[in-house]
Amino acid sequence: MKKPMLPKLSSNVPNSTEWMFEVKYDGFRAFLKWTTTSIQLISRNGNDLTGNFPEIISFCEQYAKELQDLLPLKLDGEIVILNTPLQANFRLLQQRGRFKQQEKIKEFASKRNATFLCFDLLKIRGTNVETKPFMERKEMIKNVFTRAGWPTTPQPMEPIGMVSATKSFQELWNKLQVEFGEGIIAKRKDNKYEAGKRVDHWLKIKNWKKITGVITGYDPSNGYFTVSVVADGRYTEIGVVKNGFQDNELETLKSLIYEKGTKLQNGSYAIPPGICIEVYCLQVDEGQFREPMFSKFRFDLQPEECTKEKVEVDLAMLPEQVEITNPEKPLWPDVSYSKMDLILHLRKLAPYMLPRIRDKKLTLIRYPHGVGDQSFYQKHRAEHTPDFVDGIVENGEEFILCNTLEGLIWIGNQGTLEFHIPFQKASSPYPDEIVFDLDPPSREEFYLAIQAAKIVKEMCDFLQIHSFVKTSGNKGLQIHIPIREGSLTYEESRVFTEAVAKMLVNHHPELFTIERLKKKRGNRLYVDFVQHAEGKTIIAPYSPRATKEGTVATPLFWEEVTDDLTPTLFTIKNVADRVLTKGCPWITFENRKEHQDVSKLKNLIQGTNEIR
């Protein structure tokens, strides 16, 4: 069987209208071979991966009739597990690839499904089309996907997707960097597909992370240098590197190692910490570099400066335009969380947080000296605010918007611990979400929020509207219903929120209340339907909170809303890892917003109005 065409690594971006650009995903390269009798996934080395990814195969089988006259088909693409539309999770894919038992594979797939991302078409109706120009093949893919009704952009929850090509490298690169994407493939518009060759009309430009470490070992048998950093007072290995050295650099380094190093029984060398280097890589994970390459020697660094903490900052790829001031300043003193901890949280969650706050007027709560000290609200854009922090002028007032990574990090550097957002986009009178704020009197009554959330979820399911849930980050839960802008007015949504709130109170008056005066609520949960109104705000998903524990308003999967849930479970130190492992529960929020059917909800609102 023919092997796929492969791109050449390049550090230069083609500057010509003859090139198009696509996202490079970190996954398993594979062919999807589809005939009238079988559907197979075949790896670049000819291995059958069909049994490893049953969710992709079963999804395709559902469309056999729609695509019957296009068979046999042969698609070229990448099998991935998507964190975001532009970022794949290779570590989870590797774990998945090791599974042999179908039961284990299906269990994993039910939690984090794999996706086949198609970027080329090699055969249609049994006819080989490899000699046709790239853009013509690309149009054929789009026609196939349109015929089937498949998404023509990558979607994390979909088993299949299409990788589109764009003319603007810089625009795609900017988006890719926000989402920690692997890189970009540049492809010439007019070139044919050359199976089994590494060609110069496909070029891969990597989104390298730059890591600094100390050489502490060398193995002459394979040519690998051990790279370590200081962690807990001692040097700990973080990976090995072999490629990228110039011949003169390599010979000088080896001579120094043979002279200064200690030869061990296995033939390798231990080297006293003294040589600092910079390494390009895609990731550092469990003591291993992902695709490492030597960049340069760092004579400006001392070995003790190469720390585990510095690696974490390097991996975050903070925007160069933003200077982080006083990174060690304690912002959550009770748990020793610093400003840098805040910045790293915001940077890692930026791919998930920015879509939720984009084009919304922010209300910020700033704690310049940390929790427990003075705080203040900020809604207006100050004169000294840099250009990458957007603003909007309404009635002579300029409000803050945050639409860029640079803006998010800059706002965090100002000591902003809480991001509150309205329910509509700036300059729009219509909500684009409906929110229920379930507010128990204290954390001890958090179980009331769980009970109320489950009841509201049942109501939403009955009306066939998709709802999302998150912790408030303090003591309650909040339910968000995405709606297309203009599909409901605030007056209409108020009828719905009030009706649901009163239904809760009527059925369980001992548990829930709509009483606004705190002293009259007792130990009952307050269902705040008044909060959903123009001009009001709610804590943004993934925003930190000014609690002593450094908690976060954390999106949840509905199956997590159980008696085991506690409001202090999620903090700025663990939410990013949670999202990488479990996926973002709200990753489909924007897509649901565009496709949410509110017809049954409108009927309910109309009926409620008639009763009034």
Instruction: Check: CB of residue 180 under 8 Å from CB of residue 317.
Output: yes
Q: Is 24 assigned a catalytic role?
A: yes
Q: Which candidate, 529, 407, 545, 380, places its Cα nearest to that of 472?
A: 545
Extract the tokens encoding 256: 């120094």
Instruction: Check: CB of residue 314 under 8 Å from CB of residue 212.
Output: yes
Extract the tokens encoding 494: 């108020």
Label residues 427-440 b or e (16+ Cβ within 10 Å = b).
eeebbbbbbbbbbb
Extract the tokens encoding 480: 């968000």
Label residues 273-301 b or e (16+ Cβ within 10 Å = b).
bebbbbbbbbbbeeeebeebbbbeebeeb
Q: How far apart are CA 600 and CA 606, in angstroms?
A: 10
CA Rg value for the chain: 27
Q: How far apart are CA 301 and CA 306, in angstroms?
A: 8
Beta partners for residue 77, in sequence order: 30, 118
One DSSP character per residue, 40-59 reads EEEETTS-B-GGG-HHHHHH
Q: How far is CA 519 from the centre of its chain?
A: 42
| Burial grade of 91 (CB within 10 A; 0-12, 13-18, 19 or more) | middle
β-pairing, 512-513 vs 525-528, is parallel
Instruction: Check: CB of residue 249 under 8 Å from CB of residue 321.
Output: no
Extract the tokens encoding 355: 């879509």
Extract the tokens encoding 30: 């594979």
Q: What is the sign of the dihedral through the CA atoms of 60, 78, 83 and 561?
A: positive
- From 8, 24, 175, 263, the catalytic residue: 24
Q: How far apart are CA 376 and CA 524, in angstroms?
A: 30
Q: Which candidate, 368, 386, 14, 25, places its Cα nearest to that of 181?
A: 25
Q: Which candidate, 373, 387, 295, places its Cα nearest to that of 334?
A: 373
Residue found by looking up tokens 């940390």 in the block: 370
Q: How far apart are CA 110 and CA 418, in angstroms?
A: 34
CA distances (Å), origin 35, targets 141, 190, 442: 16, 28, 60
Extract the tokens encoding 240: 């090995």
Q: How far apart are CA 580 and CA 585, in angstroms?
A: 11
Q: Please calculate the CA angle 83-346-450 and round it to the nearest 5 degrees.
A: 75
Instruction: Check: CB of residue 468 under 8 Å from CB of residue 530.
Output: no
Phi/psi zone of residue 168: left (φ > 0), alpha (ψ -120 to 50 degrees), beta? Answer: beta
Instruction: Check: CB of residue 421 under 8 Å from CB of residue 432.
Output: no
Extract the tokens encoding 397: 């007032």
Catalytic residue numbers read: 24
